[in-house]
Amino acid sequence: MSWKNQTTISEFILLGLVEGSEHQQLLFWLFLFMYLVTVIGNLLIIIAVASNTHLHTPMYFFLANLSFADINFISTTVPKMLVNMQSQNNSISYSDCLTQLYFFIMFGMVDEFLLAMMAYDRYVAICHPLHYTIVMNPQLCFLLISIAWVINVLYSLLHTLLLNELVFCTKNEISHFFCDLIPLLKLSCSDIFINELMILIIGGLAGLIPLFCIIISYVHIVLAILRIPSAKGKQKAFSTCSSHFSVVSLFFGTIFGVYFSPSSNHSARSDIIASVMYTVVTPMLNPFIYTLRNRDMKAALGRLLNKIIDQPP
């Protein structure tokens, strides 16, 4: 993917996580470890779901898609950051920066939609169990996934094309470890009113609609759980929901803190910390959160690992 350069700047400088080189090596190994754990953990989930027919259900279909999106989401930022740490060269070309931004927005927004789909799936399973197989049929699942991808491909393209129309005069240092939208807008010497308006209106709708779907689903789920007569049944249901809700709170909380708070409240350090939480930590935690309390997934992963270990060299 290539972008027409409308500026006098041919490259940007990514300042990274911290200034100075005394902590660079420690951060390199830490983020390399987190990246490998994320990729391997999510890849195992995809393979386990694909190779076990009893996991071919809507819940695991959405989980496998979430794992695929998480692998790509973290791969848009962390590998470049690791290369910069080792090479001591923090530059990124104008076209590479916009390409990174495009895929970062796309996979991040797909994550949001998938979390909403998973919440709706749990709502149907808990509140309408007798109609679950009818409502959550394969056609609906594929339609929901297709809509999520199409909408977010266009959404990320909108922001990237609008950014490409801006002029960047002299400042080219991005106070971040990747090309994010807010830091780039701060560097522009053009009027960014339209860009900020699109973030608030289109971005707000794209972010709020999945969030409202999640909230509405959980309100109905909680009401249904409260009607369960068994205390043990209530505890089990609440425990399952709390895992998903923890991921949702972490993911949406940090995103809305970065992108939808007033620009006067932004600081480079707080934005970087929040970005690390939803770009690195959340994708890494998802495989653990969605599998450690799931007996079917643990059993499938156990069989998969046994096959890998028992394979002849």
List pLDDT tens digits, range 81-91: 999 888 878 89
Q: What is the pLDDT of residue 82?
A: 93
Please list the ranges in the chain whose pLDDT falls under 50: none
Q: How far is residue 241's CA from residue 50's CA, in Å, rounded to a whole number?
A: 24
Q: What is the pLDDT of residue 3?
A: 58
Element (H, E) at 93: strand 91-93
Distance (Å) of CA 241 to CA 123, 130, 204, 208, 249: 10, 20, 25, 20, 12
Other C-beta atoms closer than 10 Å to the C-beta of 99 total 18
Q: How far is residue 147's CA from residue 139's CA, in Å, rounded to a whole number?
A: 12
Q: Hunting for tokens 């609008």 — which residue is that?
A: 162
Distance (Å) of CA 260 to CA 119, 133, 252: 23, 38, 11
Domains of the chain (ranges; CATH) run: 11-310 (1.20.1070.10)
Q: How far is residue 277's CA from residue 132's CA, in Å, rounded to a whole number?
A: 34
Q: What are phi and psi of 254, to 5 degrees?
A: -70, -40
Amino acid making up residue 307: K
Q: How far is residue 107's CA from residue 221's CA, in Å, rounded to a whole number?
A: 28
Q: What is the pLDDT of residue 211?
A: 85
Q: What is the pLDDT of residue 311?
A: 64
Q: What is the pLDDT of residue 190?
A: 87
Other C-beta atoms closer than 10 Å to the C-beta of 4 total 10
Amino acid making up residue 91: S
**Residues 6 or more apart whose Cβ sits within 8 Å of residue 141:** 58, 61, 62
* Token code pair at residue 223: 């009401």
Helix then strand then coil, in percent of the chain rounded to 5, is 75, 5, 20
